[in-house]
Each structure stands twice: as structure tokens, then as C-alpha cells.
Amino acid sequence: MIDFTDSIAAIATPPGRGGIAIIRISGPEALAMAYALTTPQDQLTDARSNSAALQELVASGKIKPRFAHFGKFYDGNEVVDEGVLLYFKGPHSYTGEDVVELQGHGGNVVPQRVLSAVLKLTARGFKVRQAEPGEFTRRAFLNGKMDLTAAEAVEDLISAGSESAAKAALASLNGAFAERLTTLTAGLTDFRVHLEACLDFPEEHEDFFDSGKAGEQLDSLLSLADRASEIAAQGVKLNEGARIVLAGQPNAGKSSLLNALAGAERAIVTNIPGTTRDVLTVNLEIGGIPVTITDTAGLRDSPSDEIEAIGIRRALDELKKADLILLMVDSSKPAYDALEALGHIKKLFDNPTNLLVIKSKVDLKADVETEKLLASEPLNQYQQIATSTKVEDGLKELRHKLSEALGVIPSEGVFSARRRHLTELSECAAALKRAREMLDLGDLVLTAREVALAQEHLGIITGKVTSDDILGIIFSTFCIGK
């Protein structure tokens, strides 16, 4: 169990060469430690145990809340750095506790020396320790500074892989997700009030059910839950990104397509089949969604050597994780090997619905037999897109189809979300559907129970219903200084 009664400290900026590094301290002794760190030890009074001295320190203006104070940072009597000190008095701070930020010089050594000076204060009676991952934000959540959706959005904003993902994370941080959940929760509460009143005083509230108002209200709440789930699903996609895997027979144009989409020569391209022996990934953005495109070894039944065989096994591993598979077929030459490649894919997926057939090299004369192959089963069951990496706009249709396949929608109004949010929203909607069935059967007691369950699932999302285990999992992915 993490102790939240002590003070915590951590470097809040990335390591490496830089102009500024920030060491953040949060907790009941943050102000006293600020005084100790900015005063040589031989001039130091016992400010830690003297609250009057601390109050005088603030009143004198030496450390004034929300003002920048320039000075030296000491480890005992040794100066380890100099810079700006900022003090945020709780509860008007990020964590809701007293917070001090020491903004000194960047680099790998100096920030560590300052942090070491902070942690050494334990030898002088201070209760301070290195912060756990995400502990500053966890304290902010526990102190009521933000709900769990906003807390998670902090990490999503930091790790955003595209501009759209950053906008969605900022929307959640500013309360867009919480506001939608609050509206839905308020509607559920209102419905439960009417329901409980009807159970207690049935003769006075018959109109609520006999007129159909109860059913209409429940349908409206289910619609709100479905809409929240729809937007959250897009938020998850923006947050996590999508995985596209290029597959096909050797020399089908996979590496050329990867280079063209990336806008750089990332993969080696030759006329020799089997040039690509290992997986190669490129990160880019399609329609605002961060996408990882993976080039793989050509899929065929008889690899030329053991190295190619290993490459094919790795290609199959990547295909298992793909959100979208692009089966490349060289339209300019006989491509019967394409059926072998499709066979490998069908061994992984009985009926692959996330597959597009890409007819490559359409700037060259089409092979008659390949045209017949593409027009017959099983290849004609899949959407086919003509591409060329050699002509202008040769990838225009492909980019458009990729956007459609990824389900890209305008990022306006989208908030960041996570898989656990989708699970709870799905459970909420399922409970409301069961409540509707119970209402139609006239069983108001079970209706009330299902509506209460729906509200509990919403509470799990916002953190009103949670546990230490869940919080530990969520905040373990955060940066140490956040």
C-alpha cells in the first residue's frame, strides 16, 4: 500500500540535454523542504517543526504562493544548482496538497543532484520519498481535483501520437467525457427517483408508467449510453492507434508501398523476391489517427531458406495483431502465389473481414491471367483497390479507403477514452436493455435493480466506484513525475 500521508518528490521533466529541469515536491512538508533546500544548513532554523516560522516565511514574501523566487539550491551547505522556486499552497495546486517546483538546469546529472538533495532531507527528520509512477495525478484524483476520466486523460495527452489524439485527450482533461457521463448519471438518478416513488406510492405515480413516459425516458437514456460508447470507441482508436499489416507474395510491392506511404526510403526495394526477411514498422497518421504500418516477409509455402522461414513466421505473428490487412497482388505479372498468401491469412482468420486486396503496379500493363484471378473466387470476395507508387495520385484512392476502413470521423467533439471505459459503457447499456425488458413485463423491482447496476458501471468509469487495485493498474502506466 502506498502511504499518502508523507511528501513525495520526483523529476517531472524528461532526462537528457535541455534548458530546464523541474523537480516537483508534493505533501504536507513541501514548504518546509523548500525553505531547507534554499538555505545553507549552518543558517537553517528548525522550520520543519516550527509552523510559526513557516507562516512568517510566507508572510515575509521570501516564499510567496504562485510567485517565482530565484535562488540557490543546497545539499547541506553545498550549492547543487540555482534556479526558480514556485510554491503552490494547497488545495489550490495540481495535487490539492502543498506543492513546490524547483526549476533548475537541465541535463542528466544536475536534476538528479537536486532530487538527491530533496531525498536526503529524510536524515534531518523530513518524511519524503521518491514518487511512484503517476502518484502526483493519483493524489489529485484522491483529493477531488479531478475525476478518473480526467486523470487518465493526463497520461493520454502526454503520450498522444497525433494532433487529433492530443485534442481528444485535452477534451477529456477539460471534462468533456465526464460531462457526458454526468448527464447520463443525472438521467438515471431522476428515473430511479420516479421508480422508487412509484414502488412506495403506486396509486400516486401510475401515470408515469401507464402513459409510456417511463419507457420513453429509459429509451432516451439508452440512446445517451450508446452515443457515449460510440464517441468513446473513436477516442480509444485515437488513443491507441491502429495497426495495418502489408501481406502478400514476395516481390508484390509491399516495401515500395511502405516507402510511399511513409514518404521516405524505409525499406530496401529490389527485384529479387524475398528481399524483406523481417518485419519493418513505420508510424504515420491517417485521417488524424496514429497508424503503425508493418511490412512483412512475403508469404509462401516454400521459403528459400531458414531465414526467410523465420521471417514468414514473424509475419504471421504480426497478422494476428492487425486491425487491417492489406493483401498485395502484383497486377503486372502472374500472381498465383497470392492464393498461397491468402491461404496463410485464412488459417489465422476463418473469414477475414478486415482485409483489402491491393492491386499494385497498375502503371504497368496488366497481366491477363492475374486479372482473371482477381475477378474470381476467393479474391473477388474482398474490396480491391488499384495503386501505383510510380505515378502522381497513384495512392489517392488507397488513402481514402484506408480512412474509411479505419472508421475515421471528424475529431471535433471526440474525447479520449480507454478500453475499460468501453467495457463499462457496454455493461451500462446492457443493464438498461434488461431494465427495458423488465419494465415491459411490469416488474418494477427488477427494473430498479438493473438501472442501479447501470449507474454503478458509470461510477466505475469516473472513479466514484473503484478500488485500490484498479487505481494501481491505471496509474502504473504514468510517468514518475506525473
- What integer pLDDT is reported at residue 109 of this predicted model? 93
Which of 146, 176, 206 is where one domain is finished?
Answer: 146
> What tens digit of pLDDT does each residue of 269-322 get?
444 444 444 467 787 777 777 788 888 766 655 555 566 666 666 777 777 777
3-state secondary structure 304-333: CCHHHHHHHHHHHHHHHCCCEEEEEEECCC
Pairing verdict, β 99-105 and 78-88: antiparallel
Q: What is the mean pLDDT of residues 61-71?
A: 82
What CATH number does the domain containing 71 carry? Answer: 3.30.1360.120
Contacts of 349 (CB under 8 A, 6+ apart): 355
Residue 301: CA count within 13 A, CB half-sphere? 8
Tally of structural domains, the chain: 2
Does the pTM surpass 0.75? The reply is no
**35 occurs within a structural domain:** yes
Same domain as 368, residue 220: yes
Which of 146, 179, 194 is where one domain is finished?
Answer: 146
Same domain as 165, residue 121: no
Same domain as 156, residue 142: no
**472 occurs within a structural domain:** no
**292 occurs within a structural domain:** yes
Same domain as 40, residue 155: no
Range of the domain at 29: 7-146
Same domain as 113, residue 197: no
Same domain as 242, residue 274: yes
Same domain as 125, residue 198: no
Helix 468-475, helix 135-142: angle, nearest 10: 140
> What tens digit of pLDDT does each residue of 416-467 get?
888 889 999 999 999 999 999 998 888 888 988 999 999 999 998 888 765 5
Instruction: At 413, list the grid cell.
Output: 467533439
**470 occurs within a structural domain:** no
Of all helices (H) and strands (E), which one includes residue 242? strand 242-248
